Structure formats: structure tokens, C-alpha cells
Amino acid sequence: MMSFLKQYVMSGVSRHYKDETNRRIMVVNLFSAVGVSITFFLGIRALIGQEFPLAIILLTASITFALSQRIQIHFGTPRSRTVSMTLLITCLMVLVFLLLITGGKDNTGPLWIYLVPPVTMFFAGFVRGLLALLVFTIACTLLFFVFDESLLLTSYTYAFKSRLLYSFLTVTFLSAFYEYSRQKSYETALDLSEQFEQQANHDHLTKLMNRRGCQVTLEREYARIQRSKKVFSIAIADIDRFKSINDTYGHEAGDDVLVKISEIFSSRLRKQDILARWGGEEFMFIFPETTSSEAVNVLEELREALSYSAVAIGDSDIHITSSFGVCEVSCALPLADAIRHADMELYRAKESGRNKVCIG
């Protein structure tokens, strides 16, 4: 029984969805299960007691609750989830409204009204939930104090009706306050998570992807070519004689040089290409669906653009060059070996005079 209940509640949940989406899916499943059980049980009791109008209302609600859950599971789209939640809220409001009209069992129907605010706020969100509850409150007020003689099938005292609405408004206020606080807390946590992820995967100096973020991108690209059976190319670049720049002009100037070089590289890459700071004065290039010869053509343009661009350091303009090592990555070549090959080609470019693009 517990296994079946767990499977029912987890129906439609996917690891590809956000946590908030999965949470709403589970709550819809759980609420529909509870709604179906309670309304079906009470409907059968009303049917046995020959309270046919009440039985019809409750059994119809039971079917609607079940239908809302099936819509969410069957289609599995954001629109279907919205339809499912809207159907749940509407069904609950209509059910409670009808219970107010009929009085339910021994005039206890109005007690179910307190379910409406928290459920509506959770599923509809703060703004839409507040609007829905406002419409529901106006409808209840008109029912109790304007159309009571023509619509109500039972009688309530003025004190009962007024206090029911006052207490309902109090629960609505508390539910709205809780939902507003929850949404703000969730948005703050989401922003912090995105900031931490940005900091963890990006270099604070150049704003490029750092080695960690680049490694994730490399693995994703490698997994993609395993499926497509295509190739991509990588290249490691190292700024020539960068140590002499730090020694001559200082480390702060060296940082400025790295920023300007990253801007030169970024501005001349193709849209699909990826640039990362690999570490120190080294940069990593990822060229999706690109052969090594095609990557060399791009890198030669970068090399020339860099060597002909004067970089301002204080009152001086200096010309900086870079060496590049290239490797073509295929399904047959492990990613670690490809990075090592690119590094070996970079070393060869350095040893053979610098300001070169070498390919294995």
C-alpha cells in the first residue's frame, strides 16, 4: 500500500524539472488523492443516507479531482500542469460554494471553506491566488447577504455568516502572507544559487569560464559527439613571455593584460566557439563540430589579431603574442588524452619560436 501511494505521489516527477515544479506536481498528486478519497467516501455516505443532491455534488467533485491528476500525468507539459491546478482550485471553490448553499451534512458544509485559501495560494501563487480568493469572497458575500433568500437551501444566522467570512478573510490573509514570504525566500535562494554557480564556474578577473566550468563544458561536448559521431577541436593558448610583463610592469598590469587579451580573443571568435581561462596565462578554446584544420584557420586569425594589436600598459604600448596547441577530439580519443595532446602541441609551439599554432 505504501509503495503504491509513493508511486502515485511521485507520478510525473522528473529530474529534468526544477525542484519547485516537482514539488507542485507531487502536491497536486497528493491533494487529488486526498480529495478523491474524502469526497468519494462522503458521497457514498450521502448516497446511502438518500441525500441525493449532496451525493451528486461530492461524487462529481471526486471525479474532477481524479481527472485533474490524470491531465497532469498524461500530457506532462507546463500547460497541462497549469490546467490541472486550475481545475483543482475551481473544483474546490465550486464544491465549497455548493456546500454553503446546501449546508452539507447538518449544516457543517461551511467548515470546508478554510481549505480554500491555503490551497489556492499554493497552486495559483500570490498574485493570481489573491485575485481568485477576492472573487470567491465577493461571491460568498453576495450569497450570504444579497441572494440568501433566493439561493440558499438552508438557513444561517447573521452572526454565523459574518463571523465565517471574517475568519475566512483572516485565514486568507495568513495564507497570502505565507505564500508571499515563501516565494520571496525561494527567489532569494535561487538568486544566491545562481550567483554561487556563476562564481564557481567563472573567472572573477576575465569573466570567462574558469577551468572547472570549462571541464564541464568539455565533458558535455564529448558526450554529444559520442551520440553524433562527429568531432570537435580544442586548443590551449599561452601568452608568450608573460612572466617578463609581470616582472617589468607589475602583477596588476599583468592582470590588465589578461583582461585585454581575453577581450581580443572573445571578439574574434565565432558564435558557437567557447573561450575559457584555463589557468594563469593559459586559455582554452572549444570549437564544436570543427575539425583541427578549421580550428587552425580561426586561431591563425586570432594570433595575427593579437600580435598586431598594441596593448596599453600605463604610458606604454606593447605588442603581445601567444602560442597555440591544437587537438582534434573524436569518439576514439579519450578527453584527457586530447587535452594532453593539445598541451604537448602548445609546448612544441613554444620550443619552436613562439607566436605559432601547432597541430598534432
Active-site annotation, residues: 281
DSSP 280: T
Of 169, 114, 115, the closest CA to residue 138 belongs to: 169
Q: Could you give the CA distance from residue 220 to residue 223 in angstroms, rounded to a whole number? A: 5
- The amino acid sitting at 39 is T
Task: Tell me if 117 sits within 8 A of 140, measured CB to CB.
Answer: no
Give the pairing of strands 322-329 and 232-239: antiparallel
Neighbouring CB atoms inside 10 A of 325's CB total 26
- b/e map 136-157, b = 16+ CB within 10 Å: bbeebeebbeeeeeeebeeebe
For 216-275, the three-class secondary structure string (H helix, E strand, C coil) is HHHHHHHHHHHHHCCCEEEEEEEECCHHHHHHHHCHHHHHHHHHHHHHHHHHHCCCCCEE
C-alpha pair distances (Å), 210 with each of 109, 115, 198, 280, 282: 62, 50, 10, 11, 11
Rg (CA), the chain: 33
SS (H, E, C) 160-188: HHHHHHHHHHHHHHHHHHHHHHHHHHHHH
Q: Residue 202 has what DSSP assignment? A: B
Strand partners, 358: 325
254, 242 Cβ separation under 8 angstroms: yes
Distances (CA, A) of 99 to 47, 90, 102, 193, 294: 16, 14, 5, 45, 73
